[in-house]
Every structure is written in C-alpha cells, then in structure tokens.
Amino acid sequence: MKTDITALFSRLAPDAGVVVAYGKILRPWLLSIPRFGFINVHASILPRYRGAAPVARAIMAGETETGVSIMQLDAGMDTGPVYTTVRTKIDPGETAAELEARLSRIGAEALAG
C-alpha cells in the first residue's frame, strides 16, 4: 500500500501539501515529497495544546483565548515552525463545536491570507 501512495504522490509532484485537523504524524517519506513540505492549520496557539482535541482541551482548561496556528509540519506532533497565529477570545458558554466552526473559518482565512 505504501508504495502505491508513494508512487501516486511522487507522480503528482506537488509543490506543497496542507492538512487540517489531522491527528496523525505524517511519515518522513511523505513529508519529503512536496518540495515546500506540508503546512498544518492547527486550532490552538502553539505550542500550547499540541496534538489531538486542542479546542476541547482549551475549553476544559478554562482558557479565555485560543486561536489558529499556521505551521510547517515536521516529523514531530505539531513541533514545526509556526508561520502565523491568529488569536480569538473564547466566548463564555461557547461549546467546542461552536468554537471549532469559528476556528475553521479563521484558519481558512489565515491560510489564504
């Protein structure tokens, strides 16, 4: 299976890749294919709340602010360089689903911007 995916990505020869809300570490062989690597849209102010469930974890911790970080993926879990962070308040009583929807819009704008 890996060889099929490797061949497909290699044939496509992408300049870059983008992942959003993807909770797994990409393998080095995949990270190396796009010439500019992979960009991650992560729903927290990194390095805080790396990994899975950053929105729920921020709410559970009583945070009043969170944001979206646009970062370069590397071999670790949300450990690459951060290019930009957009901060936003967490509204009192805001649910994880509501905040995730809002952060997805913020992340799309930050990635496009």
Domain count, the chain: 1
Domain that holds residue 21: 2-112
Q: Looking at residue 8, which CATH number applies to its domain?
A: 3.40.50.170
The helix (run of H) or strand (run of E) holding residue 67 is: strand 65-72
Can you tell me the distance from the alpha carbon of 113 to that of 107, in angstroms, rounded to the nearest whole number?
Answer: 10
**pLDDT one digit per residue (tens) for the chain, 113 residues:** 567 877 888 899 899 999 998 878 888 888 999 999 999 999 999 999 988 899 999 999 999 999 999 999 988 888 899 999 999 999 999 999 999 999 999 999 999 98
**Dihedral over Cα of 21, 27, 33, 38: its sign:** positive
- 26-33: long-range contacts, CB 8 A cutoff, minimum separation 24: 26/73, 28/75, 29/2, 30/5, 30/6, 31/73, 31/74, 31/75, 33/6, 33/9
Which tokens is 56 given? 């729920």
The pLDDT of residue 86 is 98
